[in-house]
A = this chain, B = another copy of it.
Amino acid sequence: MKERLYLYDTTLRDGQQTQGVQFSTVEKVQIARALDALGVDYIEGGWPGANPTDSEFFTERPDTRAVMTAFGMTKRVGRSAANDDVLAAVLDAGTPSVCLVGKTHEFHVTTALGVTLEENRAAIAESFAHVVAKGREALFDAEHFFDGYLANPAYAMSCLRAAFDAGARWIVLCDTNGGTLPAEVGRITAEVIAAGIPGARLGIHCHDDTGNAVACSLAAVDAGARQIQGTLNGLGERCGNANLISLIPTLLLKAPYASRFETGVSHAALAGILRTSRMLDDILNRVPQRGAAYVGASAFAHKAGLHASAILKDPSTYEHIVPDLVGNARIIPMSNQAGQSNLRARLAAAGIVVDAKDPRLAGILDDIKLREDQGYAYDGAQASFELLARRALTLCPTFFEVKRYRVTVERRKNKRDQMITLSEAVVVVKIGDQKMLSVSESMDATGTDRGPVNALWKALAKDLGPYQSYINDMRLVDFKVRITQGGTEAVTRVIIDSEDAQGKRWSTVGVSANIVDASFEALLEAVTWKLIRDGAP
């Protein structure tokens, strides 16, 4: 018989406190749906009345299985809960659940609020009595609890008790400044339970200011707390909140949690958690962190030669979980560290089987080393690595030849006397004895000029004769530029990520002193890889 562990997401409230983050209402609805599909128990939607977006979200919030929660603060001293307009705005959002932040640290009561300890405790009690009387599930967000407990345990506990006795369903211990370390969080949580607040009524809310938010949350659960608050990708004020994308796989897959607890997240939903993480990055226009626990693109990348050779024998030798369980995949990248076994493994993964004694293996490694010295990088460009190997193994047909190209970027006044930029590209391709001339501009739907590389891609993709049908569903999804060695001798490395209609992604690399040339090389590689993958004649 497993114990129930509850997950409370505050991406839409505390996550919105992240510097530079401002969700639109549409984005908030999209995130709420994703959280509900993932299976969290509570979704904190924001602070009704605090700003227009938060208020709007509650009027347009989607129906969710998860309990929608409005955030606010305990009533101010000097007026009754019924007459506090800030609290009223929170209740008016009409959510089944309400979370109110309140002070438990004497220093904050006197310094930040400037009221007496008794006035603050009374405000907590009255606020929760009011919310409970309205028939709402109530949560007490005990701000600065750990610091407050260290300063004055009796007072901090009396504030928890005030909310608890007034009927709050959950007492959430918040490490607001994020400075409390895991051992301390565990010790104090245990003391709170010993002092009479049952663990089944305790939640934990941690921040990552020391890089321990996930561990602090686990320490509180170990001590008996049964609700974890966090955010997607650890979004949140300052260094962020506890990362639910890291915590959920641990809770579902790893000892002792997997066998002790059940959550609202199914294993089927867990397999979609990587996509949930990427969705948030997309909304924020953030490049996903390659090293993120469980979901990072590098999380199951085995670079060291020793590791790679063992992985070939048995993946469990260097993986603590099976990547598929979180929707991730194994990668065996190339690099100057890699031995031949690493190389063969990566070729095998790409469907290219080479005998261990094939002398061309050494040649491929030398070729990689040589090109890496020129500025190429194959760790992040698997497709170009495959093409390099295929060429060495004479498994790479020449589908077409680019005879020449020309791209022009022009900035000038238009008829309406406004400065505009326009890029135009001409690409001349020869297929067999057929010659194709294509020309394109790079204006997008919004009338924005997207530059020379975009123009070249449009021209190249315009007419590839017999191969056109193979590339019609191909689009460029990311473009990374790195200037290697810098200065006037600068050489540019461009890595392009492409995607097809099925959502399959592949990365290619180009290098040149001329950034346009480097980009074009990466484009050609991307097209060639797709033609091979789709078996073009």
Q: Which residues of B contact A409 (CB under 8 A)?
A: 406-407, 452, 514, 516-517
**Does B239 contact A298, Cβ atoms closer than 8 Å?**
yes
Cα-based distance from A517 to B116 in the complex (angstroms): 55
Cα-based distance from A219 to B216 in the complex (angstroms): 12
A339 to chain B, nearest CB (A): 9
A484 to chain B, nearest CB (A): 8
Q: Which residues of B contact A249 (CB under 8 A)?
A: 210
**Does B452 contact A254, Cβ atoms closer than 8 Å?**
no
**Does A517 contact B19, Cβ atoms closer than 8 Å?**
no
**Does B19 contact A240, Cβ atoms closer than 8 Å?**
no
Which range contains the number of A residues in contact with the other chain?
Answer: 35 or more
Q: Which residue of B lies closest to A285 (CB)?
A: B485
Stretch at the interface among A58-66, A120-128, A175-183: A175-183
Pairs of residues from A and B, 5 with the lowest C-beta to C-beta distance, nearest first: A179-B320, A215-B215, A451-B514, A404-B412, A211-B246
Known pairs A210-B214, A239-B293, A449-B517. 20 more at Cβ < 8 A?
A: A17-B337, A19-B297, A73-B306, A181-B218, A183-B222, A208-B291, A209-B320, A210-B249, A211-B243, A212-B215, A239-B296, A287-B486, A406-B412, A408-B408, A421-B512, A421-B517, A423-B514, A450-B488, A478-B483, A481-B482
**Sample (26) of A-B pairs whose CB atoms are under 8 Å apart:** A17-B303, A17-B337, A18-B303, A22-B336, A50-B305, A108-B317, A111-B314, A111-B317, A183-B219, A208-B291, A210-B214, A210-B254, A234-B291, A239-B291, A239-B296, A240-B291, A285-B485, A287-B287, A406-B411, A407-B408, A409-B452, A421-B514, A449-B514, A478-B483, A480-B483, A481-B482
Interface of A with B (CB < 8 Å)? 16-22, 50-53, 73, 107-108, 111-112, 176-184, 208-212, 214-216, 218-219, 222, 234, 237-240, 243, 246-247, 249-250, 254-255, 282, 285, 287, 289-294, 296-307, 309-310, 313-314, 317-321, 331, 333, 335-337, 372-373, 377, 379-380, 402-413, 421, 423, 442, 444, 448-453, 475-490, 492, 512-517, 520
